[in-house]
């Protein structure tokens, strides 16, 4: 790959990907509303608000592919979700269409399916059951990606990322954890595959406690190598397990605490 755009490059996920993808592409074009001034070899930076379509069209120019990790990364006000995740994602795909970019890695989320119970093994046919406005926005992004594939041939990986953190602070993440290395490998697989289509992938590592089935996406060849199991014996996780109530909605449902949180805009009044 000659030039890959990474949106949201100043965020935690973006920082991890900069490290993991170093040297992979000839140029990694970084973008965020926050200035990045510690550029490494092979990196460039463009300050861009993804809610501005014309700015995004210029941002995408001459790129061979897009890793779209920008936008609101957690629950937030409707106005922020609308501007950053809904308008922003539309602008990315529309700019890709106008600039001739044919492959996108879209960072979706497990919060799109957070209201499924933990004993439900999710697969490609599992209905969307978002646990938040943030999850709703990811559903919009996945449907939008399907539209741009069916009508304009733009291929996408719709990566329903679980929990991509260096450490595991709670027992839920023993199932949802995704290592930074496995995420980077999924991105590389996205742009290396001969054919991608519009493929949803549950982006979790090779964990022991499994809530999802990726056999529908096996044709692209991604095989996560890491596992949350080395974290399982940490004292704080063992102690949490003694306290957990199986009837607590945060334990019953896959979205965890997101399912018990109130409507975000109510909390701001």
Q: 202 with 224: CB under 8 angstroms?
A: no
The tokens for 179 are 């290592």
Rounded CA-CA distance 105/184 in Å is 11
Per-residue pLDDT at 76: 87
Per-residue pLDDT at 210: 95
> DSSP labels for 125-165?
TPPP--SSHHHHHHHHHHHHHHHHHHHH--EEEEEEE-B--
Rounded CA-CA distance 180/178 in Å is 7
Mean of all residue pLDDT scores within the chain? 96
34 torsion bin: left (phi>0), alpha (psi -120 to 50), beta (else): beta
In the chain, % of residues over pLDDT 90: 95
Sheet of strand 3-7, all strands in order from the earlier edge strand to the far edge = 43-47, 27-32, 3-7, 65-68, 103-109, 155-161, 198-203
Per-residue pLDDT at 21: 97
Residue with tokens 């949490």: 240
The tokens for 173 are 């993440």
Q: Show which residues are catalytic.
A: 134
Confidence tier at 268 by pLDDT (50, 70, 90): low
Q: What is the CATH number of the domain that holds 7?
A: 3.40.50.720
Q: Is the pLDDT of residue 267 over 80?
A: no
Rounded CA-CA distance 47/70 in Å is 12
Q: What is the pLDDT of residues 90-131, one digit of tens each?
A: 999 999 999 999 999 999 999 999 999 999 999 999 999 999
Q: What is the pLDDT of residues 24-40, one digit of tens each?
A: 999 999 999 999 999 99
Domain count, the chain: 1
Q: Which domain holds residue 84?
A: 3-268
Q: What is the pLDDT of residues 172-210, one digit of tens each?
A: 999 999 999 999 999 999 999 999 999 999 999 999 999
Crossing angle of the two packed helices 180-192 and 12-20, in degrees rounded to 10: 70
Give me the mean pLDDT over the 129-141 stretch: 97
């Amino acid at each position: 790959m000659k030039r890959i755009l990474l949106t949201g490059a100043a965020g935690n996920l973006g920082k991890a990907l900069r490290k993991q993808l170093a040297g992979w592409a000839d140029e990694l074009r970084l973008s965020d509303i926050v200035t990045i001034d510690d550029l490494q070899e092979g990196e460039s930076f463009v300050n861009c608000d993804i809610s501005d379509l014309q700015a995004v069209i210029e941002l995408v120019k001459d790129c061979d592919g897009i890793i779209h990790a920008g936008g609101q990364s957690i629950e937030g006000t409707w106005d922020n979700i609308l501007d950053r995740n809904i308008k922003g994602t539309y602008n990315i795909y529309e700019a890709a269409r106008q600039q001739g970019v044919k492959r996108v890695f879209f960072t979706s989320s497990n919060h799109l399916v957070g209201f499924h119970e933990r004993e439900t093994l999710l697969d490609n046919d599992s209905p969307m059951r978002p646990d938040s406005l943030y999850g709703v926005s990811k559903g919009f992004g996945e449907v939008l990606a399907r539209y741009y594939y069916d009508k304009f041939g733009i291929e996408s990986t719709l990566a329903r990322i679980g929990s991509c953190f260096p450490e595991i602070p709670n027992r839920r993440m023993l199932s949802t954890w995704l290592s930074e290395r496995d995420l980077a490998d999924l991105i590389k697989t996205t742009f290396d595959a001969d054919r991608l289509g519009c493929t949803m992938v549950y982006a979790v590592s090779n964990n022991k406690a499994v809530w999802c089935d990726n056999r529908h996406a096996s044709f692209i060849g991604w095989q996560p190598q890491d596992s949350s199991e080395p974290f399982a014996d940490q004292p704080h996780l063992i102690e949490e397990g003694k306290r957990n109530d199986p009837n607590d909605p945060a334990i019953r449902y896959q979205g965890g605490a997101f399912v018990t949180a109130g409507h975000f805009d109510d909390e701001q009044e």
